[in-house]
């Protein structure tokens, strides 16, 4: 088994554990490269099926191509897709001009919480990776949140030998992270190997490409001439730029992501 | 394309001895971290008015940076031309021991970091003990902060002596001792000219010298069922192969019940993922020929494999991290691969203070952060291996309430009395192993005794005189050398059990309770044999061996078969 085989086998094992342990479960699909790889792994784990709904948290500020791609793939894969928007916050005028962290909290974190409450999901599967950002590097595969989805990162249960914490008090909520051990390069090497369809915003046009996708007002393309997957892999091997350099909310505060994630951000 | 080797290394040691700094330095010097991360650390250090802190490359949480401690484990990838590494940074702080174990449990090798000025401290000992308990044998000791002791060879030797004499007691034998200064980068990626007396490799080169273990794919098949899916017309058994290999057409046995079937197909998605054979580490799906009811927790092995234990009691070494102490006769949940069952600790055989290594006498409980040898009884029979034979199926966790609170490795079957065959008459009892089978296990190169149906035979019961690896006549006598008892087997049944003193040689063959033929053919020979036996001091192994070689024929009624 090579390195990608090992990552694939581990992620599939975790997906199957999650599916076996929780009766109300869903997967978060952000349309980006990681959660699209995760969707592919779900189809592998369950032999061509996707036995739980996918959730897309739509802030209404997403890059329009993302929504088009989402609807196309959902139809092609015959997905049970839940699209949720925090209408209430939008009515009250929420938007990035109110402050990026405030906006992220309302349109993403709070919106996510609304879906969880509405459908009473016990657990959510997310495509976060350790190498994306410092606070994500500290995550567990099965990560307990309290009723308000808050994360107590200073007191996480031990997790070893693939024996995950799967017993929880009533009312708690669990985040499952099958891609924790993958890196950005692994994701692209896997996309290439498996020939997974990804959105073409990742490929360079006029000397710029997106490395990480988010909302249009807060996500900026980085300089790049990578027009193919091979170009991207080569670029990543040599880059000095952080993956989330184009994500404005990260730059607001040295510990911005940690603060957002503690409150339930993905 | 050949797969690149991956080695997982955990870095452990006392708080403040420099674990994160060593890793940070290693990453920095080999340019394994993006410039952006370095810029971020530079900015944070500047804001705080302190010199560049290599540890911040790993300790990303705000609390970690402010207090200068590692709270939780981090994993970082890193490569040399030889292979890839996953470096696991484990917290040294006592409160975060459970995070340290989470990190260490997944490692294949370890670096034990000791501060040259402080020497061996409480957590150094505890961590070393946990390494030995987790079965991690590839260990280097890194003596850090050599700059604080003036790069002195003499002091390095003193520290090395102190550490090695401690580690000896734990049966941890480090392969190397490397003096470094992580802060200054001495002996990290390049040889230090400040320590010319050190003839070994710098840390980076030394890492490449760790040798990886034999892969699990060469061991007997262990395929625990994770789930059974029926999304379409197929009924797929899903799970990960913990060891061994499997292909369509293989004859299999599903334990603990032992149902036998055949692999019909290996299932996959998408179409071009077709695999003929699957092996250890892979998450797979299969269909089988017989439509049995299968469920999570059952373990699939090859049909003729008798090496997986099925029992409800076993001995274990465990470490306890629970909020409440571990006590006897309380119900915990035990998880071993995909099996889950309630269990109790029926005896606490030994509790060790992991810091002093002193045994706590007559312990009734195991405190948080202590380690212990215990005997566990599960509510239902479960399948397992000894950790030595198969690490994946030889380890388990205990759940107290909602928390994974302890982990352990299987040391062996428990309470021999329950697993042995006995011959009894009223209050006389003879333990015999002459009806056990002996297999030579090809992959491991060892002989294992397999007790097929441990049971108790009373007078009048038929005994199994014909087995796979033994064959006795219809009528013979069995002698128990220790207890000086004789069992009379007549026409395949146990007819009597008496003391040796009341026995007269009956001219029937005699075998020992272990199943060895006794070379006695006449009353005269029996008299000599008995006289020597009575004089035999059972504790003197030399004379016992002489006696056995003289009187026993080891292969007369017995043979070994090859087993898997």
pLDDT in tens, A158-185: 788 888 888 888 878 899 999 998 989 9
**Dist. CA B89–CA B22, nearest whole Å:** 10
Please state at what angle helix A184-194 crosses helix A229-238, rounded to 10 degrees.
160
Are residues A138 and B73, on separate chains, in Cβ contact within 8 Å? yes
pLDDT of residue A119: 95
Question: Residue A213: CB partners within 8 Å, gap ≥ 6?
Answer: A30, A31, A32, A33, A63, A66, A199, A201, A202, A219
For the beta carbon of residue B447, count every other beta carbon within 10 angstroms: 11
Backbone angles phi, psi at A225, to 5 degrees: -115, 20
Pair B306, B563: CB distance under 8 Å = yes
Q: Please tell me if residue A237 touches chain B, with a CB cutoff of 8 Å.
A: no
Grouping H, G, I as helix, E, B as strand and the rest as coil, residue B125 is helix
The residue with tokens 């996959």 is B268
Percent share of chain A, pLDDT over 90: 61
* pLDDT, mean of residues B141-146: 96
* pLDDT, mean of residues B176-198: 94
Contacts of A1 in chain B (CB under 8 A): 3, 279, 281-282
CA distance B110 to chain A (A): 16
Would you place residue A56 in the very low, low, confident or very high pLDDT band (cuts 50, 70, 90)? Answer: very high
Would you place residue A131 in the very low, low, confident or very high pLDDT band (cuts 50, 70, 90)? Answer: confident
Q: Please tell me if residue A200 touches chain B, with a CB cutoff of 8 Å.
A: no
Q: Is residue B451 scored above 70 in pLDDT?
A: no
* pLDDT, mean of residues B352-366: 77
The candidate with the shortest Cα–Cα distance to B406, out of B352, B334, B338, is B334
Distances (CA, A) of B436 to A34, B340, B422, B551: 55, 30, 12, 21
Are residues B227 and A160, on separate chains, in Cβ contact within 8 Å? no
* pLDDT, mean of residues A105-124: 93
Would you place residue A17 in the very low, low, confident or very high pLDDT band (cuts 50, 70, 90)? Answer: very high
Are residues A13 and B279, on separate chains, in Cβ contact within 8 Å? no
The candidate with the shortest Cα–Cα distance to A176, out of A17, A7, A9, is A17
Are residues A45 and B321, on separate chains, in Cβ contact within 8 Å? no
Q: Is residue A265 scored above 80 in pLDDT?
A: no
The candidate with the shortest Cα–Cα distance to B166, out of B373, B321, B354, B19, is B354
Q: Please tell me if residue A17 touches chain B, with a CB cutoff of 8 Å.
A: yes
Q: What global pTM score does this model have?
A: 0.73
The HSE-up count of residue B476 (CA atoms within 13 Å, CB side) is 22
Would you place residue B417 in the very low, low, confident or very high pLDDT band (cuts 50, 70, 90)? Answer: very low
For the stretch B20-52, pLDDT in tens is 889 888 888 888 777 777 787 788 778 877 777
Are residues A47 and B285, on separate chains, in Cβ contact within 8 Å? yes
Q: Is residue B192 scored above 80 in pLDDT?
A: yes
Pair B4, B83: CB distance under 8 Å = yes
Q: Please tell me if residue A19 touches chain B, with a CB cutoff of 8 Å.
A: yes
The residue with tokens 């990290």 is B188
Q: Is the peptide bond before B256 cis (omega within 30 degrees of 0)?
A: yes
* pLDDT, mean of residues A140-155: 80
**Which residue has better confidence, A161 or A42?**
A42
Contacts of B268 in chain A (CB under 8 A): 44, 47
What is the overall mean pLDDT for chain B? 87
Q: Please tell me if residue A49 touches chain B, with a CB cutoff of 8 Å.
A: yes
**Which residue has better confidence, B66 or A217?**
A217
Q: Is residue A145 scored above 60 in pLDDT?
A: yes
Distances (CA, A) of B13 to B110, B111, B128, B452: 10, 8, 8, 46
CA distance A64 to chain B (A): 29
Q: Is residue B302 scored above 70 in pLDDT?
A: yes
Q: Is residue B475 scored above 80 in pLDDT?
A: yes
Percent share of chain B, pLDDT over 70: 92
Would you place residue B137 in the very low, low, confident or very high pLDDT band (cuts 50, 70, 90)? Answer: confident
**Dist. CA A85–CA A73, nearest whole Å:** 20
Are residues A44 and B40, on separate chains, in Cβ contact within 8 Å? no
DSSP B91-115: --SGGGHHHHHHHHHT-SEEEEEEE
Q: Is residue B407 scored above 70 in pLDDT?
A: yes
Q: Is residue B415 scored above 60 in pLDDT?
A: no
**Best A17, A129, A160 residue to mutate vs chain B (most B CBs within 10 Å):** A160
Would you place residue A82 in the very low, low, confident or very high pLDDT band (cuts 50, 70, 90)? Answer: very high
**Range of weakest confidence among A100-109, B416-425, B453-462:** B416-425
Would you place residue B1 in the very low, low, confident or very high pLDDT band (cuts 50, 70, 90)? Answer: very low
For the stretch B252-287, pLDDT in tens is 999 999 999 999 999 999 988 888 899 999 999 999
* pLDDT, mean of residues B201-227: 91
Most confident of A212-221, B35-44, B293-302: B293-302
Contacts of A254 in chain B (CB under 8 A): 40, 43-44, 62
- Two tokens, residue A221: 């393309």
Would you place residue B66 in the very low, low, confident or very high pLDDT band (cuts 50, 70, 90)? Answer: low
Strands (E), chain A: 25-28, 54-57, 81-84, 123-125, 142-145, 173-176, 208-209, 222-223
For the stretch B219-256, pLDDT in tens is 999 999 999 999 999 999 999 999 999 999 999 999 99
Q: Is residue B418 scored above 60 in pLDDT?
A: no
Q: Is residue A83 scored above 80 in pLDDT?
A: yes
CA distance B278 to chain A (A): 10
Would you place residue B63 in the very low, low, confident or very high pLDDT band (cuts 50, 70, 90)? Answer: low
Contacts of A169 in chain B (CB under 8 A): 402
Contacts of B333 in chain A (CB under 8 A): 167
Question: Residue B564: CB partners within 8 Å, gap ≥ 6?
Answer: B220, B302, B304, B305, B307, B441, B442, B443
Are residues B229 and A20, on separate chains, in Cβ contact within 8 Å? no
Pair B373, B408: CB distance under 8 Å = no
pLDDT of residue B298: 97
**Dist. CA A17–CA B338, nearest whole Å:** 9
Backbone angles phi, psi at B211, to 5 degrees: -100, 135
pLDDT of residue B416: 46
List the B552-553 sheet strands across, edge first.
Answer: B493-499, B485-490, B476-480, B510-512, B517-518, B552-553
Among A residues 111-170, those touching chain B with beta carbons less than 8 Å apart = 130-131, 133-135, 137-138, 153-154, 156-161, 163, 165, 167-169
Grouping H, G, I as helix, E, B as strand and the rest as coil, residue B302 is strand
Would you place residue A134 in the very low, low, confident or very high pLDDT band (cuts 50, 70, 90)? Answer: confident
CA distance A103 to chain B (A): 22
Pair A61, A100: CB distance under 8 Å = no
What is the overall mean pLDDT for chain A? 89
CB pairs under 8 A between A and B: 149
pLDDT of residue B239: 97
Distances (CA, A) of B172 to B138, B331, B559: 9, 33, 38
pLDDT of residue A201: 94
């Amino acid at each position: 088994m090579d390195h990608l085989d090992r990552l694939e086998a581990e992620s599939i094992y975790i997906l199957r554990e999650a599916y076996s342990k929780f009766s109300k479960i869903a997967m978060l699909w952000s349309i980006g490269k990681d959660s699209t790889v995760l969707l592919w792994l779900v189809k592998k784990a369950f032999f061509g099926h996707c036995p739980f709904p996918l959730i897309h948290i739509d802030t209404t500020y997403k890059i329009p191509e993302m929504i088009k791609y989402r609807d196309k793939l959902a139809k092609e894969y015959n997905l049970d897709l839940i699209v949720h928007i925090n209408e209430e916050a939008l009515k009250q005028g929420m938007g990035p001009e109110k402050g990026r962290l405030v906006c992220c909290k309302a349109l993403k974190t709070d919106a996510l919480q609304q879906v969880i409450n509405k459908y009473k999901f016990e657990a959510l599967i997310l495509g976060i990776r350790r190498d994306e950002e410092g606070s994500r590097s500290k995550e567990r595969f099965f990560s307990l949140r309290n009723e308000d989805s808050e994360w107590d990162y200073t007191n996480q249960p031990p997790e070893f030998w693939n024996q995950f914490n799967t017993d929880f008090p009533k009312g708690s909520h669990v985040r499952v992270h099958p891609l924790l051990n993958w890196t950005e390069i692994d994701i692209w090497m896997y996309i290439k190997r498996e020939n997974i369809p990804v959105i073409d915003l990742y490929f360079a046009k006029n000397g710029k490409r997106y490395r990480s996708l988010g909302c249009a007002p807060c996500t900026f393309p980085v300089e790049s001439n990578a027009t193919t997957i091979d170009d991207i892999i080569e670029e990543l091997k040599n880059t000095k730029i952080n993956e989330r350099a184009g994500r404005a909310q990260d730059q607001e505060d040295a510990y911005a992501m940690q603060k957002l994630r503690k409150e339930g951000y993905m | 394309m050949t797969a690149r080797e991956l080695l997982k290394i955990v870095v452990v040691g006392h708080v403040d001895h420099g674990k994160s700094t060593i890793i940070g330095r290693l990453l920095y010097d080999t340019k394994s971290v993006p410039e952006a991360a370095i810029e971020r650390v530079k900015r944070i250090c500047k804001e705080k008015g302190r010199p560049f802190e290599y540890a911040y490359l790993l300790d990303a949480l705000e609390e970690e940076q402010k207090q200068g401690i590692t709270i939780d484990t981090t994993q970082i990838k890193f490569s040399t031309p030889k292979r890839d590494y996953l470096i696991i940074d484990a917290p040294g702080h006592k409160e975060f021991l459970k995070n340290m174990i989470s990190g260490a449990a997944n490692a294949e090798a370890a670096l034990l970091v000791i501060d040259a000025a402080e020497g061996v401290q409480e957590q150094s000992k505890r961590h070393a003990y946990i390494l030995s308990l987790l079965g991690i044998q590839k260990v280097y000791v890194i003596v850090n902060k050599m700059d604080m002791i003036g790069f002195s060879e003499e002091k390095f030797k003193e520290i090395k002596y102190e550490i090695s004499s401690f580690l000896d007691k734990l049966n941890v034998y480090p392969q190397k001792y490397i003096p470094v200064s992580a802060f200054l980068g001495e002996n990290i990626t390049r040889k230090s000219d400040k320590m010319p007396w050190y003839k070994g490799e710098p840390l980076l080169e030394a890492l490449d010298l760790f040798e990886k273990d034999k892969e699990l794919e060469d061991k007997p098949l262990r395929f625990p069922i994770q789930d059974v899916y029926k999304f379409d017309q197929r009924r797929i058994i899903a799970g990960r192969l913990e060891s061994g290999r499997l292909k369509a057409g293989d004859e299999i046995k599903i334990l603990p019940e032992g149902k036998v079937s055949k692999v019909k197909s290996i299932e996959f998605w998408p179409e071009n993922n077709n695999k003929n054979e699957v092996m250890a580490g892979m998450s797979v799906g299969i269909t089988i020929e017989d439509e049995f009811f299968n469920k999570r927790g059952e373990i699939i092995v090859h049909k003729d494999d008798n090496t997986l234990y099925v029992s409800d009691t076993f001995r274990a070494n465990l470490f306890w991290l629970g909020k409440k102490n571990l006590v006897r006769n309380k119900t915990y949940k035990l998880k071993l691969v995909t099996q889950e069952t309630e269990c109790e600790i029926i005896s606490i055989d030994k509790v060790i203070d992991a810091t002093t290594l002193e045994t706590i006498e007559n312990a009734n409980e195991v405190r948080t952060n202590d380690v212990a040898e215990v005997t566990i009884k599960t509510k239902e029979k479960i399948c397992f291996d000894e950790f030595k034979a198969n690490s994946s199926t030889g380890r388990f966790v205990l759940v107290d309430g909602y928390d994974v609170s302890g982990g352990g490795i299987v040391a062996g079957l428990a309470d021999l009395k329950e697993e042995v065959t006995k011959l009894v008459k009223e209050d006389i009892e003879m333990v015999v192993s002459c009806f056990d089978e002996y297999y030579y296990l090809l992959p491991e190169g060892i002989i294992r005794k397999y007790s097929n149906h441990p049971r108790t035979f009373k007078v009048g019961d038929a005994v199994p005189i014909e087995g796979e690896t033994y064959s006795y006549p219809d009528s013979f006598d069995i002698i128990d050398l220790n207890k000086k008892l004789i069992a009379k087997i007549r026409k395949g049944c146990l007819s009597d059990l008496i003391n040796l003193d009341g026995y007269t040689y009956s001219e029937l063959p005699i075998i020992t309770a272990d199943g060895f033929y006794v070379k006695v053919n006449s009353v005269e020979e029996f008299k000599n044999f008995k006289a020597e036996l009575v004089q035999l001091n059972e504790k003197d192994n030399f004379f016992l061996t002489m006696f056995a070689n003289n009187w026993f024929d080891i292969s007369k009624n017995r043979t070994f078969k090859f087993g898997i």
